[in-house]
Amino acid sequence: MDWNDFAKRLTLELSRLPVTSFLIVQGPSGLPYVQAMRAEGVLDSEAVSSAFLPRPLAPRQERRLRSLGWEPPDEEERKNWWHQFPLRDRGGARAAAEHLEACALLAGLMVGAFRDVYRVESPLELVYQASRSGPEGGPLALPGLGIPLAVPDADARPASSARAPRPSGSALERALAEARERGDQHAYLELLARAVLYLPAPGDPGAAEHQFATAQFGDGTFVLAFTSPEAMDRSLQGQAVHHREASLSELSRHWPHPDWQLAVNPGLPSASY
């Protein structure tokens, strides 16, 4: 995946961010980072400034941020570089087109900051975190970005290191539901990243490595994934005969379509969309 491909993926995910949600794309250590926040009528964004970096940005780097379209920090309300896109509240084809254009412009700003200013060589060096606030909020899984979650994946750790046990079954679902209830997106995503996901498989599971069960929620197509066979059975009411297993990182690497999204345990208290 190159920067152009990542910009297209980022545009799609930004366009689907619900109101009162955010997306942070960052290096594995947390720096550098660029973030987008979706609110009523506005898409707000920030790129990390010298105030939070171990080494200040050079003048040429700040000139590049300006030329890309980022506004400088004001040292009061804005401590990071920023840009804001107003969005139409009304629906319709024109508003949808303007919304997508704003997301494409923001994706370009974000990619330019990472590539030209922070000198990240490839989007594959980045990770992300995303969440929605409010009573119906919780973590957002965005595998269509093609980069990992900003939480450790047990599969990626050295074999000699001590591993936390993989959560599973009803205990995992209770923990996910509790994390969602209290709005703890980091805990939710960490649990999800360590869990085995069960993917309903059409027909023979041995021949369905790249086949995915999907569902329509609103205008979106969602890949269905569950944290246990029991959760799958409760959600689908026994309709799934076969399934296969995968980790979230494996699912991200083999994501079937950039326009599709992920639904974990849909319809259950531990659900995430």
pLDDT (0 to 100) of residue 165: 43
**Which DSSP letter does residue 197 get?**
E
Rounded distance between C-alpha atoms, residue 125 and residue 148, angstroms: 9
What would the pLDDT profile of 72-109 be if each residue is shown by its tens digit? 998 677 889 999 988 766 566 666 778 888 899 999 99
Q: Choose the most confident range, by mean pLDDT, from 8-17, 151-160, 248-257, 259-268.
A: 8-17
pLDDT (0 to 100) of residue 232: 83
Rounded distance between C-alpha atoms, residue 254 and residue 251, angstroms: 5
Contacts 24+ apart (CB under 8 A), 85-94: 85/42, 85/43, 85/44, 85/45, 86/41, 86/42, 87/41, 87/42, 87/43, 88/41, 89/40, 89/41
pLDDT (0 to 100) of residue 83: 94
pLDDT (0 to 100) of residue 160: 35
Which residues, in sequence order, are CB contacts of 193 under 8 Å at separation 6+? Answer: 148, 149, 151, 152, 153, 154, 247, 248, 249
pLDDT of residue 218 exceeding 80, the answer is no
What would the pLDDT profile of 143-184 be if each residue is shown by its tens digit? 888 888 776 443 333 333 334 444 445 788 888 888 777 767
The DSSP H or E segment spanning 86 is strand 81-86
**Burial status of residue 33 (CB atoms within 10 A of its CB: 0-12, 13-18, 19 or more):** buried
pLDDT (0 to 100) of residue 135: 64
Rounded distance between C-alpha atoms, residue 127 and residue 252, angstroms: 12
Instruction: Report the phi/psi class of residue 59: left, alpha or beta, with left for phi > 0 and alpha for psi in -120 to 50.
Output: alpha
